[in-house]
Chain A
């Protein structure tokens, strides 16, 4: 790993495998996150997103493979690594007995780069009462408190594990804004996991899909969108099952009209459609959500066939 790699890729994971008993939580995962980008990690519950993020934080030790954050091993150099990371977990495990003010002072002690004025700004923006106990905060307020302490030392890498899950639109907006601000400041990087695909589609530069511990697709979002398409075919006669179309990830429809989300270019699919004398009545680019659902379903069908 050269030094330019280190500065260009704050996160590098190579051949990472992790088992919990018989369950393979991560299966030979390779990942490189480029500096200054928003990296979206998507997958079903239990796909391995949190396990992966815990390795980056040094909370789990790789059984096989290598994890480097800023070129360092988070297990060997926890202080250096964690000092540059802002982390918000899905469970926002905050000390519930503390007051907001105490949480801020407590967290500040761990981070030499803590920016007091910025922390205070965030507290006001998030409308958090400094004397309120964490225990008494609503779900949304807790998320904001967690976000505050993740951001206030202006980390070079922001790690958010399902930050929006279970939150109302107003708080979700605050979280997205935090992601946007972080990358808008030169050189900072965000890695976030989410199952809210529309949010990922809005803010991610690069998307990795993880399924049963394996990275099934990792590419710039634009590229993912370009290589998939959605096509609606109309057949002269009613069908009871979808047609065979190379690249189709999933089908929806009945009777004469069937819509497929496909991994493949439109022209190739149109040719196939012409060969089965079906008329193309609609075509377009699927949303990230449609692509994701399609790929998960194909994965399931494939594993059933094995």
Chain B
């Protein structure tokens, strides 16, 4: 599990961890029953305050994504990915919002942006076929 912390993007560090772990679970890179690094280990790896990691883990437990086994570490919940479609959509919504703002500033209307996305998607499929 490799997380990236950025101090410049204005998102609190604990939230960056929460979002990235949610993303890893939603995308299947972290599966049910997988163990997460102990708080101290992750704190040292990311060079951040262990209380911040603890806070992120707590939030993810409350959300049902992680489970703490007493004295035995923190694991991805057995129930499988508890991220609903709604929550997975929320991850994409963040990206979409950023794209919309940028499009607006570059004078692209929604119609042109949608066309651009369709065109790129076709390109993607073509490249996939080549592989």
A residues near B, CB below 8 A? Answer: 36-38, 173, 176-177, 180-181, 183-184, 198, 201-205, 222, 225, 230, 281, 284-288
Contacts and interface: CB of A to CB of B under 8 A. Distances in A.
Nearest to A40: B49
Interface stretch (B5-13, B87-95, B107-115): B5-13
5 contacts: A37-B51, A180-B50, A183-B51, A205-B51, A281-B105
Nearest to A176: B47
B47 A180 contact: yes
A204 B7 contact: no
By CB atoms of chain A within 10 A, which of B11, B47, B49, B50 has the most?
Answer: B49
B51 A177 contact: no
Interface residues of B, number: 18
A285 B50 contact: no
Name the residue in A36, A37, A180, A281 with the highest tally of chain B Cβ atoms < 10 Å from its Cβ.
A180
A21 B44 CA distance: 44
Interface of chain B, helix or strand or loop or mixed? loop
Contact of A202 (B9, B11, B47): B47
Interface in B4-50: 5, 7-13, 39-40, 43-44, 47-50
**From B5, B7, B9, B13, residue with most partner A Cβ within 10 Å:** B7
Contact of A38 (B8, B39, B49, B105): B49
B49 A180 contact: yes
A281 B7 CA distance: 21
Contacts of A202: 5, 7, 13, 47-49
Contact of A203 (B8, B11, B40, B47): B47
- Nearest 9 pairs between A and B by C-beta? A285-B10, A184-B40, A284-B10, A184-B50, A203-B49, A180-B43, A202-B48, A176-B47, A177-B44
A287 B47 contact: no
B49 A198 contact: no
A201 B12 CA distance: 10
Interface of A is mostly: helix
A201 B7 contact: yes
A184 B105 contact: no
Contacts of A225: 12
Contacts of B44: 177, 180-181
A225 B14 CA distance: 13
Contacts of B39: 184
Contacts of B10: 230, 284-286
A287 B49 contact: no
Contacts of A198: 7
Given A177-B44, A202-B13, A281-B105, A183 B49 contact: yes
Given A180-B44, A181-B40, A181-B44, A205 B49 contact: yes
Contacts of A203: 47-49
A204 B49 contact: yes
A288 B10 CA distance: 10
Centre residue among B5, B10, B12, B13 by max chain A CB count within 10 A: B10
Nearest to A197: B7
Interface hub of A37, A176, A202, A287 (most chain B Cβ within 10 A): A202
Contacts of B40: 180-181, 184
A177 B47 contact: yes
A203 B9 CA distance: 17
Interface in B51-89: 51
A234 to B, nearest CB: 10
Nearest to A226: B12
A9 B123 CA distance: 61
A173 B39 CA distance: 18
A224 to B, nearest CB: 11
Contacts of A36: 51
Given A201-B7, A225-B12, 18 more contacts: A38-B51, A180-B43, A180-B50, A183-B50, A183-B51, A184-B50, A202-B5, A202-B7, A202-B13, A202-B48, A203-B48, A203-B49, A204-B49, A205-B51, A222-B12, A281-B105, A285-B10, A288-B7
